[in-house]
Amino acid sequence: MSAYFFHFAVYYRGFFNCLTTDGKVFDDQKHVWLQARQVWTYMRLYNEFERFKKPEILDAAKRGAVFLQKYAKNPSTYKCYLALTRDGKPVRMQKTVFSECFYMMAMSELARGTGEQSFKDEAIKMMDRIVHWLRVDNTDINLPDYAGIPPTSSLAEPMMLLCLIQQLKDMDPASLDKYGDLPQWCIQQILMHIQRDGKYILENVSPEGKELPGSHGRVMTPGHSIEAGWFLLQYAIQQNDESLKNTAIQKFMINPFEYGWDNEYGGIFYFMDVDGFPPVQLESDMKLWWVHNESMISFLMAYKETGDQAHLDRFAKIFDYSYSHFVDEENGEWYGYLNRQGPVSLSFKGGPWKGCFHVPRCLLMCEKMLKQLCNK
3-state secondary structure 29-49: CEEHHHHHHHHHHHHHHHHHC
Q: How far apart are CA 158 and CA 170, in angstroms?
A: 19
What integer pLDDT is reported at residue 148 of this predicted model? Answer: 85
What integer pLDDT is reported at residue 1 of this predicted model? Answer: 45
Q: Which helix (H) or strand (E) holds 220?
A: strand 219-220
Ranges in the chain annotated CATH 1.50.10.10? 1-142, 151-376
Which amino acid is residue 3, in one-letter code?
A
What integer pLDDT is reported at residue 11 of this predicted model? Answer: 52
Which amino acid is residue 177, in one-letter code?
D
Cα of 281 vs its chain's centroid, Å? 20
What integer pLDDT is reported at residue 2 of this predicted model? Answer: 53
- Tell me which fold the domain 1-142 belongs to: Glycosyltransferase (1.50.10)
Helix, strand, coil content of the chain in percent (nearest 5): 55, 10, 35
Q: Which residues of 20-29 are buried (b: 16+ CB within 10 A; e: fewer)?
A: ebebeeeeee
User: How far apart, in Å, are the Cα atoms of 362 and each of 21, 28, 298, 368?
Assistant: 21, 27, 10, 10
What values do phi and psi take at 223, rounded to 5?
-65, -40
With the C-alpha atoms ordered 304, 310, 313, 319, is the resulting torsion angle positive or negative? negative
Q: How far apart are CA 159 and CA 187, in angstroms?
A: 8
User: How far apart, in Å, are the Cα atoms of 115 and each of 65, 103, 179?
Assistant: 15, 17, 22
What integer pLDDT is reported at residue 140 of this predicted model? Answer: 78
Architecture category of domain 151-376 in CATH? Alpha/alpha barrel (1.50)
pLDDT along the chain (376 residues), means of 10: 53 87 96 98 98 97 96 94 96 94 98 97 97 90 74 96 97 94 98 98 97 97 98 98 98 98 98 97 98 98 98 98 97 97 97 97 98 91
What integer pLDDT is reported at residue 142 of this predicted model? Answer: 67
User: How far apart, in Å, are the Cα atoms of 113 and each of 88, 105, 189, 369?
Assistant: 26, 12, 31, 21
| Cβ–Cβ < 8 Å for 356, 37 | yes
What integer pLDDT is reported at residue 144 of this predicted model? Answer: 61
Quote the pTM value.
0.95
What integer pLDDT is reported at residue 139 of this predicted model? Answer: 80
| Cβ–Cβ < 8 Å for 274, 260 | no
| Cβ–Cβ < 8 Å for 205, 192 | yes
| Cβ–Cβ < 8 Å for 58, 113 | yes
